Amino acid sequence: MHWQHIPPAFVQPVQFCLFNIAWTWIASLLTGNVSQVDRIWTFLPAVYTAYYAVYPLLDWADPAIKQQGVSERTVLMLILQVIWMIRLTYNTWRRGLFNLKDEDYRWEITRKKVPAWAFQIFNFSFIAVTQNILLFILGLPAHNALIRGPQKLGASDVLLTVLALATLALEFTSDNQQWSYQNFKHKGVINPNEWPGAQIQWTEDDKQRGFVTRGLWAYSRHPNCACEQTFWYIMTFFPILGATHLPRHSAVAAATTPLWSLLPAISLSALFISSTIFTESISSPKYPEYAAYQSRVGMFWPFSTFFKRLHLTMTGEKERLDRMVWGPVKGKRTQ
């Protein structure tokens, strides 16, 4: 590869991305476990952003960027992403997903649905390559903030920081509500020491239903995924709203367009939509009331739930679906 054709700030991140593609794919072949990328997902975007934050201090930095110094906006984005990383790492750890023997159940189901050779193509092309490229481009907002020059932080940065912290708080709450419910579902005991926002008095009907429908999950079928997408759109808008001009010295500046800046968040949304559709195709046959939940509550956004409620009220279906989603469960089922 001719590294001289790559903008200087991208050289090491691209090499690091290629390294991650190689080792996660090889490790999946050696272990038979394809969840290698899942275990580094929790911190890799922050690693890329950290590189761009310190890039002006490196000996091999673009001279013009080196002269302008560290970007306050990029550092602020790094701090927010470190908070994001801590939340996700904590949730991944308590679910036991750092166990080297653990594998995402969706990969196992996919493995059973397709021929072995087709799964290996999927393993390389999507799990190893596509996901690692996505983690790489999640660092692009920080890069864009860097190349736009050393503007001081402004009102847009304050607003976006508040929105990012609020989004992370909601995401943490949705994680904790799911964790609290799953513990009650499998152990039958409510933990009085749950995090604030997750101290819900689950009932036997909640347990028998098999999936969580209360708390934030009453307004979104996947509030954690909604918050995750929102957080990365917020990251995208830091350089877009904060920049007063585009730098002329950067080789990347000419290619920096609004669409380019939105690429990471749009790509992440595409991944979440496709993976959520697949996940729900597993949940729907398993839980009799899940179809009613899909009809009553939006996949991600609460405004979708509002319009569903309005439509169901007009068609006279709302009360029936409400009973199925939040009312008593008819009969007892073993989960």
**CB burial string 8-32: b at 16+ within 10 A, e below:** bbbebbeebbeebbeebbebbeeee
Nearest to 225 by CA among 268, 176, 166: 268
In the block, tokens 């409620």 appear at 309
Round the CA-based radius of gyration of the chain to a whole number and report it. 22
Separation of alpha carbons 21 and 27, rounded Å: 10
What string of DSSP letters covers 37-101?
A: HHHHTTTHHHHHHHHHHHGGGSTTS-HHHHHH---HHHHHHHHHHHHHHHHHHHHHHHTTTTSTT
Separation of alpha carbons 51 and 46, rounded Å: 9
Helix (DSSP H) and strand (DSSP E) numbers for the chain: 16, 0
CB-based contact 233:265 (threshold 8 Å)? yes
Separation of alpha carbons 101 and 80, rounded Å: 31
What are the CA-CA distances from residue 289 to residues 95, 96, 109, 214, 285 (Å)? 25, 28, 22, 14, 9
Question: What is the CB neighbour count within 10 angstroms for residue 214?
Answer: 17
What confidence score (pLDDT) does residue 257 get? 54
Nearest to 52 by CA among 114, 136, 143, 134: 143
Distance of CA 248 to the CA centre of its chain: 33
What confidence score (pLDDT) does residue 68 get? 85
Taking the whole predicted model, whether its pTM rises above 0.95 is answered as no
Separation of alpha carbons 141 and 52, rounded Å: 10
What confidence score (pLDDT) does residue 280 get? 95
- φ and ψ of 60, to 5 deg: -95, 10
Cα dihedral 335/207/324/176 (nearest 10): -120
CB-based contact 322:295 (threshold 8 Å)? no
Angle at 185 between CA 181 and CA 190, to 5 degrees: 65
Separation of alpha carbons 298 and 221, rounded Å: 6
In the block, tokens 């939040």 appear at 326
Nearest to 264 by CA among 145, 148, 139: 139
Angle at 175 between CA 287 and CA 210, to 5 degrees: 15
Nearest to 46 by CA among 87, 103, 100, 92: 87
DSSP label of 196: T
Q: How many CA atoms lie within 13 A of 45 on its CB side?
A: 31
What confidence score (pLDDT) does residue 335 get? 39
pLDDT per residue rounded down to tens, the chain (335 residues): 566 677 888 999 999 999 999 999 999 999 999 999 999 999 999 999 999 999 999 988 888 888 888 899 999 999 999 999 999 999 999 988 888 888 888 999 999 999 999 999 999 999 999 999 999 999 999 999 998 766 789 999 999 999 999 999 999 999 999 999 999 999 988 888 899 999 999 999 999 999 999 999 999 999 999 999 999 999 999 998 876 555 544 444 444 554 577 889 999 999 999 999 999 999 999 999 999 999 999 999 999 999 999 999 999 999 999 999 998 866 544 43
Separation of alpha carbons 17 and 25, rounded Å: 12
